[in-house]
Amino acid sequence: METPVDHQPVPQPFYKSLYFQVITAIVIGVLLGHFWPETGAAMKPLGDGFIKLIKMIIAPIIFCTVVVGIAVGKTGGLALLYFEIVSSIALVVGLVIINIVKPGAGMNVDVSQLDANSVAAYTKPGQMQGTVDFILHVIPNTVVDAFAKGEILQVLLFAVMFGFALHKFGGRGTLVFDFIEKFSHVLFVIVGYIMKVAPIGAFGAMAFTIGKYGVSSLLQLGQLMATFYATCLLFIFVVLGGIARFHGFSIWKFIKYIKEELLIVLGTSSSESVLPRMMAKLENLGARKSVVGLVVPTGYSFNLDGTSIYLTMAAVFIAQATNTPLDITHQITLLLTMAAVFIAQATNTPLDITHQITLLLVLLLTSKGAAGVTGSGFIVLAATLSAVGHVPVAGLALILGIDRFMSEARALTNLIGNGVATVVVAKWTNDLDTERMTRILNNETPDLADAPEAVLDKVEHHMPAAPAR
pLDDT score for 126: 46
DSSP at 368: G
Position 251 scores a pLDDT of 95
The structural domains of the chain, ordered by start, are 14-455 (1.10.3860.10)
CB atoms under 10 Å from CB of 13, counted, come to 7
d(CA 255, CA 242): 14
Cα–Cα distance, 306 to 303 (Å, whole number)? 9
Going by C-beta distance under 8 Å and a sequence separation of 6 or more, which residues neighbour residue 273?
A: 50, 51, 54, 198, 201, 264, 265, 372
**Quick one: pLDDT at residue 245?**
94
CA angle 201, 209, 404 (to 5 degrees): 110
Q: How far apart are CA 191 and CA 464, in angstroms?
A: 29
Distance, first Cα to last Cα, the chain: 39
The strand pairing partners of 287, in sequence order, are: 432
Phi-psi region of 417 (alpha: psi -120 to 50; beta: other; left: phi over 0): alpha
For position 231, what pLDDT does the model report? 94
Per-residue DSSP letter, 463: P
Tens of pLDDT along the chain (469 residues) come to 444 444 444 556 666 666 678 778 888 888 888 889 888 888 888 888 887 887 788 788 778 877 876 765 556 678 878 887 888 888 788 878 887 887 766 665 555 555 555 555 555 544 444 556 667 777 888 888 888 877 777 887 888 888 888 878 877 778 888 888 788 778 877 877 887 887 888 888 778 877 876 766 555 467 788 899 999 999 999 999 999 999 999 999 999 999 888 988 887 777 777 888 898 899 999 998 878 888 887 787 778 888 888 877 876 776 666 665 555 544 543 454 444 443 443 344 444 445 444 444 444 444 444 444 445 566 555 544 444 443 445 556 566 656 667 878 888 999 999 999 999 999 998 889 999 999 999 886 655 555 555 544 444 454 454 443 3
